[in-house]
Structure 1
Amino acid sequence: MNRPFNFSAGPAAIPEEVLQTAAAEMLDWHGSGMGVMEMSHRGKEFISIYEAAEADLRELLAVPAHFKILFMQGGGIAENAIVPMNLSRAGVVDFVVTGSWSQKSAKEAAKYASDANVAATAKDSNYTTIPAASSWNLSRGASYVHICSNETIHGVEFHELPDLQALGSDAPLVIDFSSHVASRSIDWSRVGLAFGGAQKNIGPAGLTIVIVREDLLGHALPVCPSAFDYKTVADNGSMYNTPPTWGIYMAGLTFQWLKRQTEGSLSGVAAMEARNIAKAKLFYDYVDQSSFYVNKVAANCRSRMNIPFFLHDESRNDAFLAGAKQAGLLQLKGHKSVGGMRASIYNAMPIEGVQALVDYMRDFEQRQA
């Protein structure tokens, strides 16, 4: 079966091998007589799935031992509240606003912090740039500094995480890595907490991953629900409440798939990063030489995962999307808040899919000339 190429921003494409394994194990996981969705989350069968998933994620992302990996629920939207309920200590928190998701995070945090300070914003560039770190107005004594390290809607990515200590801040860095998790390595020496919904690069919707430094646990506000208190979740091995068992299982299969990926001498996340750089270059190189399409994001912060682009003549948008669907290229319509088109090329998107999109775009341009 030749499946179409799915460019959805999330929920997004899942590696075909992962889907095939899940289908084969749907009715009977490893001879247990149960499907994963039917298992007790406290039974030995599921505990083995959970433990393997956590260990594989720690290995893939090289997560240090002094960080806890939590499997939670609620997605990035919920974390916009859960993070300040755990880390703000009702004090000042800083935000670098580079697009829609960091905007949402700052707005939500204002309900729990004494001040959600916008230390820098790219609003003047219509969120096509990242403000230089030297220009950030960081607060003295901030409880944390928040960035969205890849903006899914605006297509802006921090290719290097900021060094807050070099900027004179002792605050921990919080990153929303929902849309680039497992696509590149993470410098954990610069991070206090990372969170992300699984539905872009890891699996189906329903699972949220939080990776938090141990010294940041135990400071939840009184208003924080017990199920969202990071220390409670960590102390109970992500089993304080019934976790999203199917999402954890699917994530675990994806982690195993990631570990099998190679590019030359590279493997795992390093291989995926090299592959993702090549995919993004293929697409951007074509768009940049075209007078028919345009990507407006500054070249030094273009996302490797989410690429918004526009037809110069937007009256042709409907024809473009209809032709793309006929060509087996799905979910290319841009987010309603910005319009245009968007190609999300997460880990599960092979370079052949990006090449097929470029070929279609070139053909459409020639036919419309």
Structure 2
Amino acid sequence: MRKSRPTLKDIAAELNLSHPTVSRALADHDSISRDTKERIRAVADRLGYVANSSARMLRVGTGNVVGVLLPDMTNEFYAAAAQRLADDCSARNQRLLLSISGGDPERELALVRALIEARPIGLVVALTEAPRPETLEYLRGVHCVQFMNIAPGLQGPSVSVTDSGGATLAVQHLLDLGHRRIGFVGPLPSERIGEARLRGLNVALKTAGHQLDSDLIRLGPSTAEFGASAVAALLALPKPPTALYLSSAPLSLGGMHMLGERRVAIPGDISVVVAGSANWYAVWPGGLTSITLPMTDLADAASTMLTNPEAMAQQHTELSFQLIQRGSTVPFANGRT
């Protein structure tokens, strides 16, 4: 159960100051010294206090606003999730306030405060990998559904996928087709998503009784540029892979560009699994086999949790990645390079 929101009275009591002094300090009144303002603001941040201020203007009626905080709208998954959440809000005659953190914890903190000022009925938040402690403190005072990126220090409802499941599904698919030299291009393992995907690769190989071949693995930033250079390096091996998993959407874009530039036949020369649900995957000649997120189910689960805060207070919904098989993956043929 979430705790009650801190008040001006709580801040005043902790600092042994009067309620009006605290109020004027937070309003940046000239009559309050800079040192006092800083002390009051520090306590307000630590307690998770948010002023109502002019955010009332954003509301059309009680229980009308849903706040959504996402890291990136250029990511097709988050863009689709935002659209689905907006549609759900519209069906309930609610307004959606969308903020984008850009993966920056400081920006995320400021945006969480701004969203809470709108007094929403709840928030759907996809947090950065290392959110500020103040951010978590603010979120403990509201009904918050964590979406995809789950902060260990924040209790309450959450929606995510089995983090290593996509890589396991992709590599298992290629192993089932008879491939043994499987190239893997993934994010850095120092990132949570990179560690999970490398773990998924290991699970699939060990389950099938195969060893990890470090020559076939390329890890780096999840960008199209790295995807292209990683694929070029794999193709340059004395014995290149017969199959390839590009484990993020940007890596898939860059990797496919390089395969096209080198005129590599898919699936004649190499079988390929990409990540994400970009529209061009389906229209690529023969189609590209892809690992996708169940976007609609994830967004709907988060939306449902917002409608019943008490019943959903501790529920965690974990869904699974999906494999969409198209023409880019075929059985391994002996003698293929």
Please confirm whether the aligned pair reaches a TM-score higher than 0.5, indicating the same fold. Answer: no
Structure with the larger helix share: 2
Q: Give the structure with higher Rg (CA).
A: 2
| TM-score of the aligned structures, taking structure 1 as reference length | 0.33
Higher normalized contact order (CA 8 Å, seq sep 6+, divided by chain length): 1
TM-score (norm 2): 0.36
